[in-house]
Amino acid sequence: MPAETGHFDHMTAGFVGIPFAVVVFAGHFSAMIVLLGLAVGLFVGLTSIGGGSVLTPMLILLLRIPTMVAVATSVVFCFITKGIASYQHMRQRTVDRASAISLLWGSLPAAVAGWLTLLMFRKIDILHGNVWVNREIGFALVGLGACILARDNKWISRLRAVENQNSAVVRLKLIIIGALVGFMFSTTSIGSGSVLVILLGVFAPLDENHVVGTSVFYGFVISAFVSVLQFTSGNTDWHLLGSLLLGAIPGVVIGSKLAVRAPKKFLRVCFSCAAISAGWKMV
């Protein structure tokens, strides 16, 4: 009888230990997600490089989040964080509304096309869809890293726009850029910040402050639009999003305050190398 009781106590302890281990693991996992959000927020605040290009590959490569869930969650993450930054840029009057409207003329239909593409993959073959999106993210990261490294090149500076800001040529360029970025952002959550800043710096006659402000405002609008589309797909992980934002919001505030002293060029080079490396793994 005592032996049976001891055996029962041992089994009970084993069953109690299982949920306890799960709770401890879940706590560590949530803490890691909050720290990841903090790191992304700090980097965004320090460099103004978009959250999607940093967050999405980290969710896929480090946390092993399914690709389409990572993309949808990053889109809503960008909507909330860029909403905060957009308000500040509107107050500072660094948003060129005419350029933003031209970008959105191309982006909104392209974003719908990208969302329909993801929906098609999800219904037909989600595994092949994840592979396709992974490769697109990989190519986007490699291209982004190369563009950031080349942004100060003399050959690139010769391409900078010189036309009048309201000219039809510039508006057409912005619509085309908007279409490319809108499709890319809708399918990968990358492009509304880092890629657009580079393209506007080359092809739009805007000063640096208006390039950043317009990019942030555009990113807020397009991420709001794509967030609604993703919400209908049911891919967003709201618990994951909440944990990320818990770290990201203070991270953005702290990073913004430290941005004046931060070695931006060094950080851009580090990000470019990391982006190329991560992108190469995903191709």
pLDDT tens for the 283 residues of the chain, in order? 455 444 444 444 443 444 433 333 344 457 888 998 888 888 777 766 667 888 888 888 888 888 888 888 999 988 888 887 777 778 878 888 888 999 999 999 999 998 888 888 777 666 666 777 788 888 888 888 887 777 655 555 555 555 455 578 888 889 999 999 999 999 888 888 778 888 887 777 777 778 878 888 898 899 999 998 888 777 788 889 999 999 888 887 787 777 667 676 777 777 788 888 888 877 7
> pTM for the whole thing?
0.77
Could you tell me the residue ranges of all domains in the chain?
16-282
Give pLDDT, residue 152.
58
C-alpha closest to that of 202 among 173, 171, 178: 173
Rounded CA separation 180/14 (Å): 55
pLDDT recorded at residue 67:
85
Question: How much is the pLDDT for 81?
Answer: 81
The pLDDT, as a whole number, for residue 1 is: 46
